[in-house]
Structures are given as C-alpha cells and as structure tokens.
A and B are shown apart, each in its own frame.
Chain A
Amino acid sequence: MRFVDEFRDATLGRVLAGEILAAVEPGRHLKIMEVCGGHTHSIYKYGVDDLLPANVELVHGPGCPVCVIPMGRVDDGIAIAREPGVILTCFGDMMRVPGSDGTLLEAKADGADVRMVYSPLDALRIAKAHPDREVVFFAIGFETTAPSTALTLKRAKAEGVANFSCFCNHVTIVPPLRALLDSPDLRLDGFIGPGHVSTVVGARPFEFIPADYGKPVVVSGFEPVDILQSVLMILRQLQDGRCQVENQYGRVVPYEGNLRALEVMAEVFALRPHFEWRGLGFISHSGLRLSDAYADLDAERRFAVPGVRVADPKACQCGEVLKGVIKPYECKVFGSACTPERPIGTCMVSSEGACAAYYNYGRFAREREVV
C-alpha cells in the first residue's frame, strides 16, 4: 500500500544503518528514548534495534495509554460496569488491565455488561440501540484518541443521546515528558517524538525539550525506515552540536498540528489539576476531564465512583520500565509470573507495552558488544 511499502524497504534500511554507524561517536554510549508505544512495537517487530550500533541504546518511554493507567481508575471503571442497567464499552486491551480486584473481562464473566468497541462512535451506536440502558464509554488515550472521543461527545449532545456518558481517562503527552526529564535517575541524549500525537498537537509543543533541557527531538513515523532515519537525524544533531525539534514525519505531521482537532478538544475537555500515572505518580495538568459544557455526559458525575488510589503490586516494576530505568527482562516477574496471558503489570497487557513487545518478539535478554 502507498505510504507503507516504501518505508519498509530493506535496502534503504541497510543504507541508513550504515550511515548511523558512521555518524555515531565511538566509545560514547547514547540513550535515545522513543516516547511512543507504537514505536516500541515497530522497533521489535522489525528488529530495528539489531541494525543499531551497541552504543546506541533505545529506551522505551511512557507513551502507551493502557500501560500508564493506574489500578484505581480500573477499579472505578469496574464499579461503573457493575451498576444496574449499565453497558460499559471500552477498547479491547483495556479489558485485560488488572485492577485491585480483577479485570473488566473478569467483571464481564461475573455478569457485568462490558463490551469491546473499536471507536467511541461504536459506543454511541450501542447507546442509540439500547435507549433503556445507560451506556458508558471508558475513554483512554493521548491526544491521538482524545479528538475521536470529543467528536463523539459533540455528536451525542447534538443528537440528544441522553443515555450516553464518558468515563474520561485521556492524558496529555508533554507533562510526563517534563516529569521524566526532571527525574534524577534517568540520563537521556535525545527523543524520538510521538508521530500520531504530533498529527494533532504538532511538533511545536516539544520545543521545550531543546530549549529547557538541551536535548534533540525528532518527530518520527512508525515504519522501520522512519525510525532509522529519525535515529540518524538525532545523531547528526549531536554530531553538529545542534539541538532542535525536527520533523521526520512530514508526510503526516504539520508542525502546527491539526487546528480543527485542537479546537474540538478545547471545547469538550478541560485539564484536571493533576492525574495519576502508573509508575510516575501524580503529574500536574496531565489528564483531561469533560468541560463544564459537557458535564451532563460525564460518567464520574452520573455514577458514584470509588476514586480510591491503589498501590501497584510490589513484584511489578512497570514504573521503572515506563521511565526507561530498567529493561523489561530485568523485571523480577518478566516472562515468569507476568506474561501476556496473565499480566501482573500494564506493560505486559497492551501489544505496545514495552514488556509485551519484548515478550512477543523473543527479547528475553540482550547482550551486545560495544562498537
């Protein structure tokens, strides 16, 4: 397919790998964080890291929305699903995320009406088909998914679908990046910026990274050639002593973002004062709630939710994995007590979680010689 095949070209990939090898400074160990779970998945699916010199290390960031949702919010979702007459709709991966007392899938097995949808629009269709039931959409995701939820809420309001509401867990990408950069236990040399989040917010919001922290950022596409080219662009910046935001994904990402999407998000959502992130704790202004104009569609106002903070299981090291402090295979329970079939931590649930990506593509350990 156009826009896909040319970015999986093996010959071009090998040429880029050669240029990366030539551009890297021997003896200097570089850590580059790919912020987005989609990149993590592509890197292991296509073996991109095997084409990199050993002293260029890819560190996996917090950009998988399923992975960063705290257990307490899962519990809140399950509590809503157990309300009489409720149909709770959510994305597929969300059904397998463990709360303190099981998953949404287990709640479904116990009799709660939990249904998987592919888009918020599907949830609205269910609401229209069941006017005698309360239909709640469990919304998660970064700025990529938030416009989709916002458009559906606008549609629900315009069409007067009174039995539809949204349990909003949308998050924003910039505050956790700032929290990571302020973290004393993490040293990074550059960032592969999130491609599709940038389709909405643009590349401009990442300018604080070079300006305030002196690190290069390259917004990248998701195909293997995209990622290799982005690594090369970061190395070239380091080589030249430059530090700026560059856009490798120009075929999709406008530097200013999608103004229509930003407008609809501004209308439907408002920033929460703070939101809890798994492994990262509470981060100011990092989560979205429904704005006052859409308060009547807010499931948190329509239903009683426990709102209890739940600590992560002690054995689980998702927090360190999400901050890039340890590799997934360095977690005590990786591949033994925690597997995609029976996950303990969120990073093992989503296909884009770092642990699941390592597990599914056989990366149980990694040792390479430094160039």
Chain B
Amino acid sequence: MSCDDPHHCITCGDDGVPMCVLAVDEARGLALCEAADGAHGSVEIALVAPPVAPGDVLLVHAGTALTRLDGAPA
C-alpha cells in the first residue's frame, strides 16, 4: 500500500484498513499486525479495549487501531 497508489491511500480521507494481530508488546502499547496484502506494521493499540491478542482483526488508521472487528452483523 502506498500513497503513490492512485487507488488506495491510508493516509488521507476516512480510510481504515483491517489488519490481523500477529504479536503484542503490551509494555509499549504496540502490536505487530498484517494487512490483507501481506504488509506488516507496528500499530498503536491504546484505543482498543484490552486484551488485544494474536488473531484479533483490528481496524487500523494511520498506524492506530480504532476498533476491534468482532463480526457483528452490518
């Protein structure tokens, strides 16, 4: 994912990206997450109700998880 990509940019507009948690560093408030395209990144998890665990799917915007996707129906 890149800001040079004309089709998608995480940094502008109101665009969140679902990412899967791979590992959690509770002391630093960060999680290593993977997006659907395989991209990895460190994500702030302070705004999501604990505990955040590997396997959780988070909605991530600009490096910060805004919520946990829990599968509730639309």
Contacts and interface: CB of A to CB of B under 8 A. Distances in A.
Nearest to B10: A118
Nearest to B19: A1
Q: Which residue, of A7, A258, A264, has the highest number of chain B Cβ atoms within 10 A? A: A258
Contacts of B2: 92
Given A1-B18, A251-B70, A351-B5, A196 B59 contact: yes
A199 B46 contact: no
Interface stretch (A62-70, A271-279, A303-311, A321-329): A62-70
Contacts of A148: 44, 61-64
Contacts, number: 160
Contacts of B18: 1-4
Q: How large is the interface on B (under 10, 10 to 19, 20 to 34, 35 or more residues)?
A: 35 or more
B9 A92 contact: yes
B12 A351 contact: yes
A66 B48 CA distance: 27
Contacts of B16: 144, 195-196, 199, 252
A116 B3 contact: yes
B47 to A, nearest CB: 5
A199 B44 contact: no
Q: How large is the interface on A (under 10, 10 to 19, 20 to 34, 35 or more residues)?
A: 35 or more
Contact of A250 (B9, B47, B63, B73): B73
A264 B64 CA distance: 13
A325 B47 CA distance: 38
Contacts of B10: 118
Interface in A126-185: 140-142, 144-145, 147-148, 151-152
Contacts of A356: 6
Contacts of A7: 74
B57 to A, nearest CB: 6
